[in-house]
Amino acid sequence: MKTERSLLDFCTDKNLYPVIDKVLSGERLTFEDGVKLFNTNDLLTLGTLANLKKEEKSGKYVYFVINRQINPTNICTLGCKFCAFATIDKNDPKAYEMTINEILEKAKYAVSQGASEVHIVGGLHPDWQFEDYLNIIKSLKENFPQLHIKAFTAVEIDYLSKLAELSYEETIVALKEAGLGSLPGGGAEIFSSRVRRIIAPEKIGWKKYLEIHKTAHKLGLKSTTTMLYGHVETIEERVDHILKIREAQDETGGFTCFIPLAFQPENNDLGKTEHTSGIDDLKTIAVSRLLLDNVPHIKSYWVMLGEKIAQIALNFGADDMDGTVMEEKIAHFAGAKSPTQQQKERLIRLIKEADKIPVERDTLYNHIKIYE
């Protein structure tokens, strides 16, 4: 009996045959290939292909980090329609701003839990000055020099550059000198101008978002990048977004990881109430892995996917689970059903059950401990 079969024997979607050939021969995929992959109903072939590419990049390893998110304020001048976390009104009962001491207390707890990273993002506060933001970084670095500070999305960097009347380069250099270690990927949403006009009309556009990341890369900082999906965007707009990231990465190579963020639909002004489906989540992870041949890691962000889909995604091309997080606000203001933090032991179990090898990493993917 012949047991050796090819992927094509199992594939139920003939439209995928040419794309499968390209993936197996290492050829770069096009916009049209990306759309075909999103539109297929053959989820298992898609997952198998993405897992193959994941294994070429990181073998059986799946990464996690002991980290803490800190969101210094949710008061924000932007008023994005999709965002349930921020408020434009300082008198809103949910409005808050942390003092430096409160931020340091949170970092102190993180360090006591073995954290190697703090991830800091928040609102564009109408009264805070550049020095206030700079001070957050400086104080953290002075008190906890061992912590990697991943802070301020491109949207915040743009705001800070205006406050300080500095160029992007000068702003990032000042933050780097204060102790900034890398940039997080938030604020990308969907790059399409059509979508941005609907969901975030006041936010910087994709050109500035990528310009800021590329500037950071040229200054020696790494960064991550994201895509918020499952609201008003089309499949074509998702593929376009992913390919713009691939193009920027060709230029600088500074992105460590891509994070598809599943839209959480409560408490927003878009009138959206539906969560993304499990199939859509898995397809988005897999297509991202296949299109982004030049980005080392794809994150299965358990906060927004939920633990169960995040775990399955580890066999659909993802090789990173983010981390312990310790205090998640952005997704939970918007109705996320996941816990607001994770124990390291649980992340290890989720990864092992997916038949992968858990690796505790630092922000830049240096290995801290392999759990064989």
- Specify the 3-state DSSP secondary structure of 62: strand
Phi, psi angles (nearest 5°) of residue 333: -65, -25
* Widest Cα–Cα separation across the chain: 74
Identify which range of 141-149, 158-166, 221-229, 246-254 contacts ligand V47 by CB under 6 A.
Answer: 221-229
Can you tell me which of 116, 171, 224, 342 binds ligand V47, judged by CB under 6 A? 224
By the rule CB under 6 A, 228 interacts with ligand V47: yes
By the rule CB under 6 A, 49 interacts with ligand V47: no
Can you tell me which of 65, 295, 334, 351 binds ligand V47, judged by CB under 6 A? 334
Minimum separation from the CB atom of position 140 to ligand V47 (A) = 17
Nearest residue (CB) to ligand V47, 226 versus 342? 226
Can you tell me which of 49, 261, 285, 292 binds ligand V47, judged by CB under 6 A? 261
How far is the C-alpha of 32 from the C-alpha of 49, rounded, in Å?
17
Identify which range of 34-42, 137-145, 205-213, 220-228 contacts ligand V47 by CB under 6 A.
Answer: 220-228
Identify which range of 21-29, 38-46, 242-250, 326-334 contacts ligand V47 by CB under 6 A.
Answer: 326-334
Q: Which residues pair with 352 in a beta bridge?
A: none
Phi, psi angles (nearest 5°) of residue 263: -60, 130
Quick one: tokens of 36?
């075909």
- Specify the 3-state DSSP secondary structure of 210: helix
Can you tell me which of 74, 87, 226, 288 binds ligand V47, judged by CB under 6 A? 226
Minimum separation from the CB atom of position 312 to ligand V47 (A) = 19
How far is the C-alpha of 333 from the C-alpha of 336, rounded, in Å?
7
Tell me the torsion sign for CA atoms 228, 234, 238, 243. Answer: negative
Total length of the chain: 372
By the rule CB under 6 A, 83 interacts with ligand V47: yes
By the rule CB under 6 A, 319 interacts with ligand V47: no
By the rule CB under 6 A, 320 interacts with ligand V47: no
Chain centroid, CA 19 distance in Å? 26
Can you tell me which of 152, 191, 301, 316 binds ligand V47, judged by CB under 6 A? 301
Q: Which residues contact 222 (CB under 8 A, 6 or more apart)?
A: 182, 183, 216, 254, 255, 256, 363, 364
- Specify the 3-state DSSP secondary structure of 292: coil
**Where in 142-171 is the site for ligand V47 (CB under 6 A)?**
153
Closest CA to 173 of 197, 192, 157: 157
DSSP state of 365: -
Quick one: tokens of 88?
């434009």
Minimum separation from the CB atom of position 186 to ligand V47 (A) = 3
Can you tell me which of 304, 305, 314, 318 binds ligand V47, judged by CB under 6 A? 304
By the rule CB under 6 A, 73 interacts with ligand V47: no
Number of residues near ligand V47 (by CB under 6 A)? 24
The owner of tokens 């298992």 is 44
> Residues interacting with ligand V47, by CB under 6 A?
82-85, 121, 153, 184-187, 189, 224, 226, 228, 259, 261, 263-264, 301, 304, 322, 330-331, 334
